[in-house]
Amino acid sequence: MSQLFVRTLRDDPNDAEVPSHRLLVRAGYIRRAAPGIYTWLPLGLKVYRNVERIVREEMDAMGAQELQFPALLPKEPYEATNRWEEYGDGIFRVKDRKGADYLLGPTHEEMFTLVVKDLYSSYKDLPVSLYQIQTKYRDEARPRAGLMRGREFVMKDSYSFDYTHAGLEASYAAHRAAYIKTFDRLGFDYVIVKATAGAMGGSKSEEFLAKLEVGEDTFVQCTSCGYAANVEAVTVPTPAPIAYDGVPAAHVEPTPDASTIAKLVDALNADHPRADRPWTAADTLKNVLMMLVHPDGTREPLAIGLPGDREVDQKRLEGQLEPIGVEPMTEDELKQFPDVVKGYIGPGVLGEESKTGIRFLVDPRVSEGTAWVAGADLHEHHVVDLVVGRDFTPDGTIEAAEVRAGDACPNCADGVLETARGIEMGHIFQLGTKYAEALDLKVLDENGKLVTVTMGSYGIGVSRAVPVIAEGNHDELGLCWPREIAPADVHIVAAGKDATLFEAAEALSNELAAQGIEVIYDDRAGKVSPGVKFKDAELIGVPTIVTVGRGLVDGLVEIKDRRTGEKQDVAVADAAATIA
Ligand code: ATP
Ligand code: MG
Ligand code: MG
Ligand code: MG
State the pLDDT at residue 385: 66
pLDDT of residue 411: 78
For 23-34, write each residue's pLDDT tens digit: 999 999 999 999
Q: For residue range 436-460, what is the model confidence (pLDDT) as tens digits?
A: 999 999 999 999 999 999 999 999 9
Give 177-203 pLDDT, tens digit per residue. Answer: 999 999 999 999 999 998 875 433 346
The pLDDT of residue 403 is: 64
247 Cα–ligand 3 center, Å: 43
What pLDDT, on a 0 to 100 scale, did the predictor assign at position 235? 53
Q: Is the CB of 108 under 6 A from ligand 1?
A: no
Residue 118 backbone phi and psi in degrees, to 5: -60, -40
Helix axes 572-579, 499-514, angle to 10 degrees: 30
d(CA 244, CA 270): 12
DSSP-derived secondary structure for 219-266: EEEESSSS-EEEGGG---PPPPP---TT--TT----S--HHHHHHHHH
Report helix, strand or coil for 295.
Answer: coil
Mean pLDDT score, 366-377: 24
The CA 425 to ligand 3 mean position distance, Å, reads: 9
CB atoms within 10 A of CB 364: 16
Whether the CB of 106 sits within 6 Å of ligand 1: no
Rounded distance from Cα 215 to ligand 2 centre (Å) = 12
Question: Which has the higher per-residue pLDDT, 322 or 77?
Answer: 77
Cα–Cα nearest to 161, from 206, 119, 107, 104: 119
More confident residue, 174 or 275: 174
pLDDT of residue 45: 98
Q: Is the pLDDT of residue 167 over 50?
A: yes
CA angle (54, 57, 58) in 5-degree steps? 90
Residue nearest to atom 24 of ligand 1 (CA): 149
Percent with pLDDT over 90 in the chain: 56
Q: What's the average model confidence in pLDDT over 84-101?
A: 94
- Contact between 445 and 123 (Cβ < 8 Å): yes
Cross-strand bridge partners of residue 163 = none
What confidence tier does 260 reach under pLDDT thresholds 50, 70, 90?
A: low
Residue nearest to atom 7 of ligand 1 (CA): 424
User: Mind spelling out the 3-state secondary structure of 530-558?
Assistant: HHHHHHHHHHHCCCEEEEECHHHHHCEEE
Contacts with 398 (C-beta within 8 Å, 6 or more apart), sequence order: 234, 235, 236, 238, 389, 390, 391, 392
- pLDDT band at residue 408 using 50, 70 and 90 as cut-offs: confident
* Mean pLDDT, the chain, whole residue set: 77
What number is the average pLDDT over the span 480-503? 95
| Region 1-9 average pLDDT | 95
ipTM score above 0.95 = yes
More confident residue, 325 or 92: 92
Phi then psi for residue 419, to 5 deg, are -110, 150
Q: Is the pLDDT of residue 364 over 80?
A: no
Distance of CA 432 to the CA centre of its chain: 19
Give this prediction's pTM.
0.74
3-state secondary structure 22-52: HHHHHCCCEEEEECCEEEECHHHHHHHHHHH
